Structures are given as structure tokens and as C-alpha cells.
């Protein structure tokens, strides 16, 4: 390994001097990414009113960013191995900031969606570098504390992100309206980039091989062929090409798998290690994660459309309406960390998915009883339970799925799992958003359309619950 800064864990000398300052810089980048993943669910109706565009544009604001992140994350960590983690972090931070500026000055829906995709790609370059650097900067006795800092930061961002977005839109600072949700990244991004130049150590692998560009293109094409028709098909009344595109995505994913296997046989590094998919626990965990994150993100997109377009609430009101779910997520995560995870082990995913499904059912019941007269207090119980279940499910998820992965496979496995999380978000925005708009197009009332969408979310949670039963069994069979 080649290190161009005194990172103590790599050199065997004293730990890196500026490691805690560097951690703060890495956390700032995480906050930017989390905020930008959440804010458009609140801002989308306002953006649509001002810029125009179809209902598909509302879905693409979330799906475009998530899809770009999903594809880019598989490659992003590899770029750090090849060209240096500090260098790629700085490039990612500057690129993310520039893309945020372009989002903020966009004049058409097409421009905004394109720059959201660019934002997601640079985010995928920036985010993996921070996680890798933490492992190199901190000695073993401190690394747990370093990673523990992510929990509160992610929680605060998830709670504050939608509220901040709503406040910025309603405040209309300097007459910018919704544009400020992107422009606020300028000072944050520039500060993170310049602080990274000064405080992050440089690190890269001396034996890193070339990028798997062919694999990257194949997985990008397969993902696009799946997501694009799901979002655009409704507006064109589902012509034959939409189904042909989705069928083609399956073929391209299969070609991707064969291509990666061929690279391994030829002694080349693959984008994704094919052996991972022979581990039933890992593959089952990926499918469970795809179902879980699809439902979670998709319901968030639809719920914000219901509150703003259906109920006529402003962005700040809509952001505040989601607070019970965010606070519930904090509670659920806290309960898991305070002993429930140790008590239930892998069963905590099952408990969490049950609680989340119960919350969704309570939410649907109150919407059925109150209709368009529903208020904060009627929404709060169901959303709070959804949040608690979400926290309980997510707390053990990554450890459970990665438990059977060999050390030399951990980088590829982590990148693949995080990418599936993002792909699930894009898929959820596409599928649940399309379902919701189709129901409205058929003259169904907003409350009824939301109830049916919630029923689909409960179905996805049932799939997560069923698959979580298989995880321990497969893990035992594979010796973990």
C-alpha cells in the first residue's frame, strides 16, 4: 500500500494527527448526500408548479438521483483504490457542489433531472472514500467510536432534512424559492472540499487493477432499461416498448453476470465478485433489501404528494407532518442499540418489519376514517410506528446480510449492498409513484389512492418478513 500522509494505522506509528477533524469533514459529506436524497420529496410539487413538467418529472427527481448513486457506488470505491481516496473525495465534493449549483439555476424540468443525475454520480464518487479513509486513519480501539458518529448524524439529517427543505421553500430567501434547497450546498460543499484538501490523508492501493468499464456500462444499461419504462410508461399508456425494455433489462443483467464470471476466469478484477451470488444468505438479503427500501422510499414520495397536492398543505407543513416517522426512526434505532439487537439477534428484522407493517395499517385506517379532513394528530400514530419499525429493521440489516461474506469479498459486497439500497429507492419511486398516479388518473380520490399504495407497501414488508426468516437458515447452512 502507498500512503502519502502519516496515517498511523497503516504505518505502524502514531495514529493520524488530524483524524477527528477528518471525520468531521467526512460526516459533512454524508449530511449533504442524505439531505439531497430527501429534500426533493418535499420540494417536488412546488418545482412542478414553477417549472412545469409531467408527473413523471416528480418521480425522476428522486429516482434519477438514486439510480445514479446505485450505479456509481459500485465503481466509486474502486476509483479511490486506483487514484487515491483523498483525491477522489475532493473531486466528488467539488463535482457535487457544482451539480448542486446547476440544479439551483435549472430552467427546465429536463435540465433539473439531468443535473440531479450528475449530482448522484459525484455523490457516488465522494461517499465511499470517507468510509475507506476511516478504516485507515483510526486505530482499532477508536474505530468503533468513529463509525458510531454516523448514527446520530444520519438520524438528525433524516429528521431535519424534510423540515429544512420545507422551511427554505416557504421562506423564499432572496427570492430563490425551491432553488435554495440546492444552493445551500454551495457553502457546505466548498467548505468540505477545501477542508478535505487540508485535513484528509492520501491513501491508495499500489496493486489496484484497472476499472471494469464494461461491467459498469452493462449494469448501468440494465438498471436504466428497468426504471425508465416504469416511470414513463404510464404517460404513454404502456406501449409495447415499455414491456420490451423491462424484458431486455433482465437479459442485460444476465449478460452482466456472465461477463463478470468471465473476467474472474481470465484473472481480472470484476466490478462485482460473482461468488457472492452463490451465497444464499447474501442473495436473499439483497432481495429483502430491495423490497424493503423500495417500499420505504416509494411510500415517502407518495405521502408527500398526498399532503401537498391532495390536502393542499405547504412544503413546511408537509415536512412537519413527516416528523413522527423520523422521530420514530430515532426511537427504533435507539431501542435496537440499547439491547434489543443483542436479545433478538437476526429476529430483530422480523420484529421491525411487523411493527412497520402495523404502522402502515394504522396510517391507512386513519386515512380511511378521516379522508381529506385528516390532520397532523391523525397521521402521527401510524407514521411513528412506521418509523420505529424502520429503525428496528435497519439497525441489524447490514450486519446480517454481510455476516457470511469473506474478508476479501467485503469491499465488493458492501458496494453491492449499498447500490441495491439505492436501486430499491429508485424502483420504489418508480413503481409506487406510477401506481399512485394511475389511480388518480382513473378518477380515484386521493385518500383511496393512498390506501391502495399503502397496501402495496405492506405487501413489500411481508416479503421482507418472509425473506428475513430464510436468512438465519441459509447463514447456518453456510457455516456462519
Instruction: Give the tens place of pLDDT for each residue, 185-214.
Output: 999 899 999 999 999 887 766 555 677 888
Please tell me the distance from the alpha carbon of residue 247 to that of residue 256, in angstroms, as a whole number.
15
Average pLDDT of the residues in 171-191? 91
Tell which residue, 337, 428, 331, has the closest CA to residue 384: 331
- Residue pLDDT, tens place only, 18-70: 888 888 898 888 888 878 877 888 888 899 989 988 888 888 888 889 888 88
- Residue pLDDT, tens place only, 303-335: 988 999 899 998 889 888 988 988 888 888 888
**For residue 218, pLDDT beyond 70:** yes
**For residue 181, pLDDT beyond 80:** yes
Average pLDDT of the residues in 79-95? 88
332 burial via Cβ count (<10 Å: 0-12, 13-18, 19+): buried
Neighbours of 258 (CB within 10 A): 11
Average pLDDT of the residues in 376-384? 94
Q: Which residue has the higher pLDDT, 1 or 461?
A: 461
Write the Ramachandran bin of 173: left for phi over 0, alpha for psi from -120 to 50, otherwise beta: beta
**For residue 2, pLDDT beyond 50:** no
114 burial via Cβ count (<10 Å: 0-12, 13-18, 19+): middle
Please tell me the distance from the alpha carbon of residue 214 to that of residue 376, in angstroms, as a whole number.
50
Please tell me the distance from the alpha carbon of residue 198 to that of residue 193, in angstroms, as a whole number.
9
> Which of the four pLDDT bands, split at 50, 70 and 90, describes residue 182?
very high
Position 427 scores a pLDDT of: 87
- Residue pLDDT, tens place only, 420-453: 888 888 888 888 988 998 899 888 999 999 999 9
**For residue 10, pLDDT beyond 70:** no
Q: Which residue has the higher pLDDT, 409 or 392?
A: 392
Position 473 scores a pLDDT of: 67
- Residue pLDDT, tens place only, 257-291: 999 999 988 888 888 888 888 888 888 888 988 89
Tell which residue, 119, 436, 180, has the closest CA to residue 300: 436
> Which of the four pLDDT bands, split at 50, 70 and 90, describes residue 366?
very high
Q: Which residue has the higher pLDDT, 479 or 188?
A: 188
Position 410 scores a pLDDT of: 64
422 within 8 A of 73, measured Cβ to Cβ: yes
**For residue 479, pLDDT beyond 60:** no
Q: What is the mean pLDDT of the chain?
A: 84
pTM recorded for the entire structure: 0.80
Q: Which domains does the chain have, with CATH numbers?
A: 1-211 (1.20.1250.20), 272-480 (1.20.1250.20)
Alpha helix ranges (H) inside 371-409: 376-402
Position 1 scores a pLDDT of: 33
Amino acid at each position: 500500500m502507498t500512503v502519502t500522509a502519516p496515517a498511523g494505522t497503516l504505518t505502524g506509528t502514531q495514529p493520524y494527527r488530524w483524524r477527528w477533524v477528518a471525520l468531521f469533514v467526512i460526516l459533512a459529506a454524508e449530511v449533504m448526500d442524505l439531505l439531497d436524497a430527501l429534500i426533493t420529496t418535499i420540494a417536488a410539487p412546488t418545482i412542478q408548479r414553477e417549472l412545469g413538467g409531467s408527473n413523471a418529472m416528480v418521480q425522476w427527481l428522486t429516482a434519477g438521483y438514486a439510480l445514479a448513486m446505485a450505479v456509481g457506488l459500485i465503481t466509486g470505491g474502486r476509483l479511490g483504490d486506483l487514484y487515491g481516496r483523498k483525491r477522489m473525495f475532493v473531486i466528488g465534493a467539488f463535482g457535487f457542489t457544482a451539480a448542486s449549483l446547476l440544479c439551483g439555476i435549472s430552467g427546465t424540468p429536463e435540465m433539473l433531472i439531468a443535473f440531479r443525475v450528475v449530482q448522484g454520480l459525484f455523490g457516488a464518487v465522494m461517499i465511499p472514500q470517507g468510509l475507506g479513509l476511516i478504516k485507515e486513519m483510526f486505530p482499532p480501539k477508536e474505530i468503533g467510536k468513529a463509525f458510531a458518529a454516523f448514527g446520530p448524524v444520519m438520524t438528525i439529517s433524516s429528521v431535519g432534512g424534510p423540515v429544512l427543505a420545507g422551511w427554505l421553500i416557504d421562506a423564499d430567501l432572496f427570492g430563490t424559492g425551491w432553488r435554495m434547497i440546492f444552493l445551500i450546498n454551495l457553502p457546505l460543499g466548498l467548505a468540505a472540499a477545501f477542508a478535505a484538501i487540508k485535513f484528509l490523508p492520501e491513501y491508495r492501493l499500489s496493486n489496484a487493477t484497472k476499472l471494469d468499464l464494461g461491467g459498469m456500462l452493462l449494469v448501468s444499461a440494465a438498471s436504466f432499461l428497468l426504471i425508465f419504462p416504469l416511470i414513463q410508461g404510464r404517460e404513454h399508456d404502456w406501449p409495447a416498448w415499455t414491456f420490451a425494455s423491462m424484458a431486455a433489462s433482465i437479459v442485460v443483467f444476465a449478460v452482466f453476470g456472465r461477463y463478470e464470471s468471465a473476467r474472474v476466469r481470465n484473472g481480472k478484477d470484476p466490478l462485482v465478485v460473482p461468488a457472492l451470488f452463490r451465497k444464499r444468505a447474501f442473495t436473499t438479503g439483497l432481495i429483502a433489501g430491495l423490497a424493503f427500501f423500495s417500499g420505504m422510499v416509494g411510500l415517502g414520495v407518495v405521502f408527500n404528494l398526498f399532503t401537498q397536492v391532495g390536502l393542499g398543505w405547504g412544503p413546511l407543513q408537509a415536512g412537519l407532518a413527516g416528523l413522527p416517522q423520523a422521530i420514530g426512526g430515532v426511537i427504533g434505532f435507539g431501542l435496537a442499540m440499547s439491547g434489543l439487537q443483542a436479545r433478538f439477534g437476526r429476529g430483530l428484522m422480523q420484529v421491525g418489519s411487523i411493527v412497520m407493517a402495523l404502522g402502515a395499517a394504522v396510517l391507512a385506517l386513519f386515512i380511511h376514517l378521516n379522508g381529506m379532513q385528516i390532520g397532523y394528530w391523525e397521521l402521527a400514530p401510524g407514521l411513528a410506528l412506521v418509523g420505529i419499525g424502520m429503525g428496528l429493521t435497519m439497525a441489524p440489516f447490514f450486519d446480517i446480510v454481510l455476516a457470511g461474506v469473506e474478508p476479501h469479498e467485503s469491499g465488493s459486497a458492501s458496494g453491492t449492498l449499498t447500490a441495491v439500497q439505492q436501486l430499491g429507492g429508485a424502483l420504489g419511486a418508480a413503481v409506487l409513484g406510477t401506481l399512485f398516479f394511475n389511480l388518480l388518473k382513473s378518477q380515484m380520490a386521493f385518500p383511496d389512492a393512498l390506501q391502495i399504495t399503502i397496501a402495496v407497501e405492506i405487501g413489500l414488508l411481508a416479503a421482507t418478513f418472509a425473506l428475513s426468516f430464510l436468512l438465519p437458515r441459509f447463514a447456518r447452512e453456510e457455516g456462519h
